[in-house]
Amino acid sequence: MRLLGIHHIALNVRHLDRAEGFYTDVLGFKVLQRFSKGLRHLMLDAGNSQIALFEVPDLEMQLHIEELSETGYMHFAFKIEKKMFQLAVKKLRDHNIDIGEGPVRRGEGESVYFQDLDCNHLEIHCDDE
């Protein structure tokens, strides 16, 4: 078997329209497709892959995601060019997104960690040039 890469990552959200606003307005992704049959969801263009947001209004996710993320370090990391990193940090702060004590040094680059509106743990990382 030879896999070609990641096609998409699927995330559960409680309010699809609210999540769409976060992922498009704050993070800058574009909506590729919307689905209303079955679970209401959409696909976002994330550069070299896609993100699927599935609306699950009654799902209690916060405690489970916090346990997975704090104990098991489950998160999704987005790559950004070094010259754009500080602008991304500023945009998160301008939108009152909690980035803790970030940015932080990670390996050969910098990262900032935060959560979306449904507590999914996210990271933006830039490598040193």
Q: Tell me the average confidence (pLDDT) per consecutive run of 10 residues in the chain, 129 residues long.
A: 90 95 97 92 96 91 71 84 96 96 91 92 92
Pairing of β 121-127 and β 76-79? parallel
pLDDT at position 72 is: 65
Query: What is the domain count for the chain?
Result: 2
Do 46 and 79 lie in a common domain? Answer: no
Where helices occur in 58-110 by DSSP H, the ranges are 62-72, 82-94
Say if 66 falls within a structural domain: no
Domain containing residue 3: 1-59
What CATH number is associated with residue 34? 3.10.180.10
Whole-structure pTM value: 0.88
Last residue of one domain, picked from the residues 28, 59, 90: 59
C-alpha distance from residue 72 to each of 17, 44, 75, 121 (Å):
29, 26, 9, 12
